[in-house]
Chain A
Amino acid sequence: MAVVGKAVKRKEDPRLITGEARYLEDINLPGMTHIAILRSPHAHANIVSINTEAAAAVPGVVGVYTGQDFMDVNPLPCPWPAGGPDHPNNINTPRALEVEKVTHIGAGVAVVVAEDRATAQDAVELIDVEWDVLPAVTDAEEATFDGAPQLHENAPNNVCMEWDCGDQESADAALTSSDVVVRQRLRNQRLIPNPMETRGCIAQHEPVNGEYTIWMTSQAPHVHRLLFTAFIFEVPENKVRVISPQIGGGFGAKIFMYPEYVLTTALSKTVGRPVKWVETRSENYIATTHGRDHVTDVEVGANRDGSITALKVKTYANLGGILSTVAPGIPTTLYGRMLSGAYRFPNIYCHVTGVYTNTGMVDAYRGAGRPEATYVVERAVDLVASELGMDPVDVRRKNFVPGDAFPFEPSNNLLNGLSYDSGDYDKALDMALDMTGYEDFRAEQAAARAEGRYLGIGFSTYIEICGIAPSAWMFGEGWGAGLWESANVRMHITGDVVVTTGSQSHGQGHETSVAQLVADELGVSMDQVHVQHSDTLGTPFGYGTYGSRSTAVGGVAVWRSLQRIKEKAKAIAAHEFEAAVEDVEYVVNEEGVGSVQVKGSPDQSKVVGEFMGIATSAAGGWSLPGDMEPFLDETSYYDPPDCTYPFGTHICIVEVDAETGGVDIKRYIAVDDVGKVINPMIVDGQVHGGIAQGVAQALWEGAQYDENGQLVSGSLMDYAIPRADLLPSFELGRTETPTPNNPLGVKGAGETGTIAATPAVVNAVVDALSHLDVRHIDMPLTPSRVWETIKSHSNGGNS
């Protein structure tokens, strides 16, 4: 019985539901010490002096250290300076502790190591820092103005990098000759990821052999080891083992190298005892990366028939006070190259200025660049529709990439040589419109308006780029490594299967999806399959989990190993049955049991995955053909030829309370095409969570800094994350267009919700107020903002 495509229950859930899963906080080592970090209360300041005497005298304190104590440890690397040699990249990255100056609140400047966490925190309060406080700037565009406070010597006007893509001349020319041009400034506000589990690190150093074992909240343990060894500590790779225990969510924020990980690891050697650091929620708000934060001016040209002629985008991307690991790559490659959306825009140009400001670090957050791009594109299409007085659905259809145009290369070499793999954008739109009852909705909206009730509908016919990414292409984008994945598959003597992967699972259900793949290919039960990941000792190298790549890239590596195992099983069977290999086939019967048999001779058949089956023959090695090596054990590496391009239509229906500006989501319909689906329940779960986060950006979330660079929304009491009772039951549909780019046909499902949902909601609210001539409202659409908009548009607008 095939399990791929079935909503099989997750293998990881029993340990999560019963509380047996071991998170970083659950790990305690004998002799372990604890640290607390003194963080800058100022957004921009020079460090004049630090006095640690009083802290060092507290009973139970093992040691107090400042940045001076770690000058032999390299600064953190930034392996993705965007854009390559043609563009300036004024890189500034953090050190374990800052030494001379700080450029955002929360930057660490001193650390206490103590016998317990509370003592460490008490002692931190006694450290005396003399600060020379400097003026701060928090807005990316303002930071580039003359006279703005300067954060780094190597970054005049606070510009980290300038980057562009597309063709400026052709975009300008097309705008000039278009029937209409709409211009709009769009703010994509800063978000705080808020994984349920904060970050943490435990490091242990063995003086005898100089080895470090590091348990850490990592979405990419192999990449962390690479950064520790080759870049930060300059030690051989085999001196560091990184283990990622059960991880309570990451949303991208746990991909990166952070100062605290370096600090904890360095300290484990200094104090000669294991060291533990667990981030508090307050620290998480100021020391873990944030996402988004763009200020964008968009110009879109169109002709009267609704065809869009050009899209020109100028974006200031806020990168924070100092660079996180891949910060420059997010608002460039992952943003600009996606600005054609689901459409055939004939002319596109995008210019991005990456800017330092006195705010927390900004890096990839679920969707990473692609939600920002989708927001620009889907808002632009709606702006054109309202300018032309057309139905937004018609404008979308008019500009869609047609079903027969795949593979499709966006104009002006926007994708730098890649092309959209497959799609049927009309089909997903049709299904979503059907589920919605669009025709009836417009009548309902008109009737409601007559009663003074504001109903609105919003569309987002998005695409995304995932299954990231061909290594050679990424190299051209400035990324300093590869982005392939690996997998090892072994069949043990009992017939059980062990899969080790370089990828990492922190909520995505890899242990289940991969087991489903293996079960169907090899004809074993899911219980026989054990998927191991997240420990650099014993798993092959991999780049980690992000960019919806674990199945589309890592899954294909597994699939390749499975093919090799099947070939080898056939060769062993041919030898046992004294038949030619070409005459042996690998069959999986209706019960899901896999065997190798001589074609047309069912009595010459042997089960593979059971004790004394072919797996046992291979492991026993008693009688193997020729020079064949024993054991069914195959490792594969997969570097994709292109990315994958999921798509779909999200539709949101809202009612705006005309008196308060409150937005109520009445219905949310989502049709996603993520290619071939392995486990529909897991995909639905990813879509649900993603929609919740996307809706939350549209309506509630938003980091707020005051003019001194203090984070005003610095806790869960102020920063509104989505809650179940604020959301309707999502209505999900699905089309399935396999990608031709990989043998599984899978595209990726981890980010669709956050990419699609945000513009659907904003478009719906703007539609609800369109009779008042409202064209745009900046996010988050808080009641007060919506109410202000209604108030300022109500004069005579009431129709």
Chain B
Amino acid sequence: MWPAEFDYARPSSVAEALQLLADNEDAKLLAGGHSLLPAMKLRLNEAPLLIDISRIEGLGSISNNGSLTIGALCTHADIAASADVQASCNALATATGMVGDQQVRNWGTLGGNVAHADPASDPPTVLVAFNANINIEGASGSRSVAASDFFMDLFTVDLEPGEIITSIEIPAHAHDGSAYVKMPHPASRYAVVGICVVLQRDGGRCSGAHVAVGGATVRAMRSPGAEAALRGSALDDAALDAAAAALKEDIANDLIGDMSFPEAYRQEMAGVYLKRAVRAAGG
């Protein structure tokens, strides 16, 4: 509960933060501190220098000009309360509103959450389902990575040491309903399994579906099988059963588990929660 000694810097711009990163090998960015500081206190993580980006201006706003752009420093609470997010990506409002508890939501940032890439996190699942892009600045300029490529493995993302996530962009995607549902871990409230579903309807039929899963798997990932099973269906029980079966197959090689929630259980629950997500999304 006592971190090793570290230095502290508080840049006021992204450029200044990038320079500090370039000049200090092994330095770490500090945003909300709700993943980094606990790890440092347990001495699972050490950094000679913390670069506190939390007061950099311009990274904390949400804008909507066709696509939705969420600054990396927006907190879970900001996002859950945003009318723009609720209107165009309601599942993200739901997911961020379910993160941890109120204190965690008031401190934890979306940028920190995706950079940390805890497999039990909630927002990544929604970002993958909505084809979000992660916008990144580095010494050699900026780049943008699709969420489904960005999340690579447990705590592993496509981010180089000298880079900073500046925003997350969710492209406009016409849909008729979206939902995020999760089984929370009884201690941490992280997701044991989390499912995001985005539905497009054409009368009584489903004309398109995005399905993403997290919590149960090493990373947030899409389920092409479940999407295919829902597409063109009437979203009846048979279609949902087929989608659940396909989802379970899609994630079979990527499962994680522990003593309380073994892999096989999480796999089953992914199917159960998929059905619940479809119903919650209005299907």
In the complex, are the beta carbons of B272 and A659 less than 8 A apart?
yes
Known A118-B5, A122-B4, A659-B272; judge A782-B260 contact (CB<8 A).
Answer: yes
Tell me which residues across on chain A come within 8 A of B42, comparing CB atoms: 282
Q: Within A263-318, which residues are at the interface with B (CB < 8 Å)? A: 280-282
In the complex, are the beta carbons of A712 and B188 less than 8 A apart?
no
Tell me which residues across on chain A come within 8 A of B4, comparing CB atoms: 122, 125
In chain B, what residue has the closest Cβ to A725?
A: B101
Asked whether A340 is an interface residue with its Cβ less than 8 Å from the other chain, the reply is no
Question: Chain B: interface residue count, which band?
Answer: 20 to 34
Contact for A787 among B187, B258, B259, B268, CB less than 8 A: B268
In chain A, what residue has the closest Cβ to B258?
A: A712
Alpha-carbon distance A700/B188, docked complex (angstroms): 12
Alpha-carbon distance A232/B246, docked complex (angstroms): 66
Tell me which residues across on chain B come within 8 A of A788, comparing CB atoms: 265
Alpha-carbon distance A280/B1, docked complex (angstroms): 6
Q: What 0/1 readout, one digit per residue, does chain A (762-791) give for beta carbons within 8 Å of chain B?
A: 000000000000000000001110011000
Tell me which residues across on chain A come within 8 A of B66, comparing CB atoms: none
Asked whether B261 is an interface residue with its Cβ less than 8 Å from the other chain, the reply is yes
Known A125-B4, A704-B259; judge A787-B265 contact (CB<8 A).
Answer: yes
Alpha-carbon distance A787/B186, docked complex (angstroms): 16
In chain B, what residue has the closest Cβ to A278?
A: B1
What's the nearest-Cβ distance from chain A to residue B199, in Å?
Answer: 21
Q: What 0/1 readout, one digit per residue, does chain B (181-199) give for beta carbons within 8 Å of chain A?
A: 0010111101000000000
Contact for B187 among A121, A280, A662, A716, CB less than 8 A: A716
In the complex, are the beta carbons of A720 and B186 less than 8 A apart?
yes
In the complex, are the beta carbons of B187 and A784 less than 8 A apart?
no
In the complex, are the beta carbons of B43 and A125 less than 8 A apart?
yes
Q: Within A668-720, which residues are at the interface with B (CB < 8 Å)? A: 699-700, 704, 712, 716-720
Tell me which residues across on chain A come within 8 A of B261, comparing CB atoms: 782-784
Interface centre among A36, A125, A716, A784 (most CB of B within 10 A): A784
In the complex, are the beta carbons of B187 and A660 less than 8 A apart?
no
Alpha-carbon distance A721/B186, docked complex (angstroms): 8
In the complex, are the beta carbons of A117 and B259 less than 8 A apart?
no
Q: What 0/1 readout, one digit per residue, does chain A (474-504) give for beta carbons within 8 Å of chain B?
A: 0000000000000000000000000000000
Asked whether A726 is an interface residue with its Cβ less than 8 Å from the other chain, the reply is yes
Alpha-carbon distance A788/B260, docked complex (angstroms): 12
Alpha-carbon distance A717/B42, docked complex (angstroms): 13
Tell me which residues across on chain A come within 8 A of B268, comparing CB atoms: 787
In chain A, what residue has the closest Cβ to B273?
A: A660
Interface centre among B4, B43, B187 (most CB of A within 10 A): B187
Alpha-carbon distance A117/B41, docked complex (angstroms): 13
In the complex, are the beta carbons of A717 and B187 less than 8 A apart?
yes
In the complex, are the beta carbons of B187 and A118 less than 8 A apart?
no
In the complex, are the beta carbons of B183 and A280 less than 8 A apart?
no
In chain B, what residue has the closest Cβ to A726?
A: B186
In chain A, what residue has the closest Cβ to B193?
A: A660
Tell me which residues across on chain A come within 8 A of B5, comparing CB atoms: 118, 122
Alpha-carbon distance A300/B5, docked complex (angstroms): 60
Tell me which residues across on chain B come within 8 A of A659, comparing CB atoms: 272
Tell me which residues across on chain B come within 8 A of A784, comparing CB atoms: 260-262, 265
Alpha-carbon distance A280/B43, docked complex (angstroms): 13
In the complex, are the beta carbons of B269 and A719 less than 8 A apart?
no
Instruction: Count residues of A near B (Cβ-Cβ below 8 Å).
Output: 28
Alpha-carbon distance A282/B268, docked complex (angstroms): 33
Alpha-carbon distance A8/B222, docked complex (angstroms): 59
Tell me which residues across on chain B come within 8 A of A122, comparing CB atoms: 4-5
Tell me which residues across on chain B come within 8 A of A121, comparing CB atoms: 2
Alpha-carbon distance A717/B44, docked complex (angstroms): 15
In the complex, are the beta carbons of A717 and B1 less than 8 A apart?
no
In chain A, what residue has the closest Cβ to B1?
A: A280
Contact for B2 among A117, A712, A716, A782, CB less than 8 A: A117
What's the nearest-Cβ distance from chain A to residue B183, in Å?
Answer: 7
In chain B, what residue has the closest Cβ to A661?
A: B265
In the complex, are the beta carbons of B2 and A282 less than 8 A apart?
no
Known A282-B42, A718-B187, A718-B188; judge A660-B272 contact (CB<8 A).
Answer: yes
In the complex, are the beta carbons of A281 and B183 less than 8 A apart?
no
In the complex, are the beta carbons of B183 and A700 less than 8 A apart?
no
In chain B, what residue has the closest Cβ to A782?
A: B260
Tell me which residues across on chain A come within 8 A of B1, comparing CB atoms: 280-282
In the complex, are the beta carbons of A280 and B2 less than 8 A apart?
yes
Tell me which residues across on chain A come within 8 A of B187, comparing CB atoms: 700, 716-721
Tell me which residues across on chain B come within 8 A of A718, comparing CB atoms: 187-188
What's the nearest-Cβ distance from chain A to residue B15, in Å?
Answer: 33
In chain A, what residue has the closest Cβ to B186?
A: A720
Q: What 0/1 readout, one digit per residue, does chain B (161-205) give for beta carbons within 8 Å of chain A?
A: 000000000000000000000010111101000000000000000
What's the nearest-Cβ distance from chain B to residue A453, in Å?
Answer: 15
Alpha-carbon distance A784/B216, docked complex (angstroms): 13
What's the nearest-Cβ distance from chain B to residue A787, in Å?
Answer: 6
Tell me which residues across on chain B come within 8 A of A704, comparing CB atoms: 259-260
Q: Within B1-43, which residues are at the interface with A (CB < 8 Å)? A: 1-2, 4-5, 42-43
In chain B, what residue has the closest Cβ to A699?
A: B186
What's the nearest-Cβ distance from chain A to residue B184, in Å?
Answer: 10
In chain B, what residue has the closest Cβ to A659?
A: B272
Tell me which residues across on chain B come within 8 A of A118, comparing CB atoms: 2, 5
Alpha-carbon distance A720/B260, docked complex (angstroms): 11
In chain B, what residue has the closest Cβ to A712?
A: B259
Alpha-carbon distance A704/B258, docked complex (angstroms): 11
Alpha-carbon distance A726/B186, docked complex (angstroms): 9
Tell me which residues across on chain A come within 8 A of B269, comparing CB atoms: 660
Tell me which residues across on chain B come within 8 A of A716, comparing CB atoms: 187-188
Known A718-B188, A787-B268; judge A660-B2 contact (CB<8 A).
Answer: no
What's the nearest-Cβ distance from chain A to residue B187, in Å?
Answer: 4
What's the nearest-Cβ distance from chain B to residue A369, in Å?
Answer: 26
Alpha-carbon distance A125/B187, docked complex (angstroms): 29
Tell me which residues across on chain B come within 8 A of A700, comparing CB atoms: 186-187
In chain A, what residue has the closest Cβ to B261?
A: A784
Interface centre among A662, A700, A712, A717 (most CB of B within 10 A): A717
Q: Within A390-421, which residues are at the interface with B (CB < 8 Å)? A: none
Q: What 0/1 readout, one digit per residue, does chain A (103-124) give for beta carbons within 8 Å of chain B?
A: 0000000000000011001100
Alpha-carbon distance A122/B46, docked complex (angstroms): 12
Q: Within A718-749, which residues are at the interface with B (CB < 8 Å)? A: 718-721, 726
What's the nearest-Cβ distance from chain A to residue B244, in Å?
Answer: 11
Tell me which residues across on chain A come within 8 A of B260, comparing CB atoms: 704, 782, 784
Q: What 0/1 readout, one digit per residue, does chain A (84-117) give for beta carbons within 8 Å of chain B?
A: 0000000000000000000000000000000001
What's the nearest-Cβ distance from chain A to residue B213, in Å?
Answer: 15
Tell me which residues across on chain A come within 8 A of B258, comparing CB atoms: 712
Tell me which residues across on chain A come within 8 A of B265, comparing CB atoms: 783-784, 787-788
What's the nearest-Cβ distance from chain A to residue B272, in Å?
Answer: 5
In chain A, what residue has the closest Cβ to B42?
A: A282
What's the nearest-Cβ distance from chain A to residue B49, in Å?
Answer: 17
Alpha-carbon distance A716/B183, docked complex (angstroms): 18
Tell me which residues across on chain A come within 8 A of B43, comparing CB atoms: 125
Tell me which residues across on chain B come within 8 A of A787, comparing CB atoms: 265, 268
Tell me which residues across on chain B come within 8 A of A720, comparing CB atoms: 185-187
Alpha-carbon distance A700/B185, docked complex (angstroms): 10
Q: What 0/1 readout, one digit per residue, does chain B (98-142) give for beta carbons within 8 Å of chain A?
A: 000000000000000000000000000000000000000000000
26 A-B pairs whose Cβ atoms sit less than 8 Å apart in the complex: A36-B2, A118-B2, A125-B43, A280-B2, A281-B1, A282-B1, A662-B183, A699-B186, A700-B187, A704-B260, A712-B258, A716-B188, A717-B188, A718-B187, A720-B186, A782-B186, A782-B261, A783-B183, A783-B261, A783-B265, A784-B260, A784-B261, A784-B262, A787-B265, A787-B268, A788-B265
- 14 more A-B contacts (CB under 8 A) besides A716-B188, A782-B261, A784-B260? A36-B2, A118-B2, A659-B272, A660-B269, A700-B186, A718-B187, A718-B188, A720-B185, A720-B186, A726-B186, A783-B183, A784-B262, A787-B265, A787-B268
Please report A residues at the B interface, Cβ cutoff 8 Å. Answer: 36, 117-118, 121-122, 125, 280-282, 659-660, 662, 699-700, 704, 712, 716-721, 726, 782-784, 787-788
CB-CB nearest 5 A-B residue pairs: A280-B1, A720-B186, A720-B187, A784-B265, A121-B2
